[in-house]
Amino acid sequence: MQIKLKEAADLIGGKIFGSKNLVIKNLAKIEEAASGDLTFLYHPAYQKYFSTTKATAILVKPGFDKSRDDIAYIEVDDPGKAFSKLLIHYCSPEFPLKGIDSTAFIHPDAVIGDNVALGKNVVISKNCRIGNNVKIFHNTVLLEDVQIGDDSLIFQNVSIREKCIIGKRAIIHPGTVIGADGFGFFPDETGIYNKIPQIGNVVIEDDVELGANVTIDRAALGSTVIKKGVKIDNLVQVAHNVLVGENTVISAQTGISGSTKIGKNCILAGQSGLVGHIEIADGVIVMAQSGVSKSITKPGAYFGSPSKEHKAALKQEAHLRNLSEYAGRIKQVEVQLKRLEEELEKLRTHSNHS
């Protein structure tokens, strides 16, 4: 990478303070940047590195105090988003997988599009349909009737079971399992659990990214559906017949129980958990380690277990943290009440004797 500072500024619509002809060789974090690097400052926690960074240039918000004259500045409304745009444009990784490895198995009934690349030991089963420009890395298995849309990228050791459908431009990271049986059992009169056949599938729409070791279970009937633009972090469990709405983001170690419906543009933060058969409105934020035990009908932030509106949950948390103080104060009040009762009893006794 070797670009003029003006090229970077033009790409992100930024205003330069300093020489527009400076040469940028790399993009780097502010605390690690060296001479020739372009960095960014978007969060107050990183302000402490500004005085010592060795970067040649830095992205800042308008009005930033440009007290150093040995560094160039690019003003943008959102340095974090602007830096991400630069990363996408200049640093998107190339994945060199090409062609079809000799160890890959392709069933004669499978349909493979143009420019498909298959790594070692990939299995494409009967009646699978693979779109154009798809890359599937080593040891991935597609069972019968799986469909993969154009321009998708599937990393190693992924399992996609029968009849599941993956849309265009999907990115699926290593170890993910799509279409395993949903957790469906019923106990008989002796208490033995019997398996309920899971005969549905999983439908993943366009522009979805799934992290490493995600599990999305097939529906008992119908489909488990991940709508367009959803982004799912590592180690997330999505149970059977769940629906995740468009452009929702789900962080690591979240678990979603069966038949729950999640709206559009939601955020489920890390280690959140949702019970089954509930509905989450559009625009809901479930904060980290929260447990959602009933439907949420209004957009907004929710926290706690069971989850509550964020402000109410914080008030309750403040009271919980002060319980020991409250207990001490109650004990003092009890002591004072007892003294008053004793004094009142003495007054009554004295009055009766009079």
Task: Give residue 270's pLDDT.
Answer: 97
pLDDT digits (tens, 9 = 90+) for 224-261: 999 999 999 999 999 999 999 999 999 999 999 999 99
Query: Residues 294, 276: contact at Cβ < 8 Å?
Result: no
On the question of pLDDT at 354 being above 80, the answer is: no
pLDDT digits (tens, 9 = 90+) for 143-171: 999 999 999 999 999 999 999 999 999 99
Question: When comparing pLDDT for 73 and 310, which is higher?
Answer: 73
The enclosing H or E element of 340 equals helix 323-353
Whole-prediction pTM value?
Answer: 0.87
Mean pLDDT along residues 60-86: 96
pLDDT digits (tens, 9 = 90+) for 20-29: 999 999 999 9
**What are the residues whose beta carbons fall under 8 Å from the beta carbon of 131, sequence distance 6 or more?**
113, 148, 149, 150, 151, 152, 168
Task: Give residue 184's pLDDT.
Answer: 96
Per the annotation, the verdict on 350 as an active-site residue is no
**What are the residues whose beta carbons fall under 8 Å from the beta carbon of 246, sequence distance 6 or more?**
205, 227, 228, 229, 230, 264, 265
Query: Residues 132, 147: contact at Cβ < 8 Å?
Result: no
Query: Residues 28, 38: contact at Cβ < 8 Å?
Result: yes
Mean pLDDT along residues 63-83: 96
Task: Give residue 325's pLDDT.
Answer: 87
On the question of pLDDT at 352 being above 80, the answer is: no
Task: Give residue 313's pLDDT.
Answer: 78
On the question of pLDDT at 353 being above 80, the answer is: no
Question: When comparing pLDDT for 192 and 92, which is higher?
Answer: 192
Q: Among 34-43, 180-189, 326-335, name the one with the lowest average pLDDT.
A: 326-335
The enclosing H or E element of 5 equals helix 5-12
Mean pLDDT along residues 315-332: 85
pLDDT digits (tens, 9 = 90+) for 93-134: 888 899 999 999 999 999 999 999 999 999 999 999 999 999
Task: Give residue 94's pLDDT.
Answer: 85
Residue 26: closest CA among 47, 50, 55: 55
Task: Give residue 348's pLDDT.
Answer: 84
**What are the residues whose beta carbons fall under 8 Å from the beta carbon of 341, sequence distance 6 or more?**
none
pLDDT digits (tens, 9 = 90+) for 191-205: 999 999 999 999 999
Helix boundaries (H) for 13-92: 79-91
Task: Give residue 267's pLDDT.
Answer: 98
On the question of pLDDT at 310 being above 80, the answer is: no
- The band of 349, judged by pLDDT with boundaries at 50, 70 and 90, is confident
The catalytic residue among 240, 319, 350, 353 is: 240
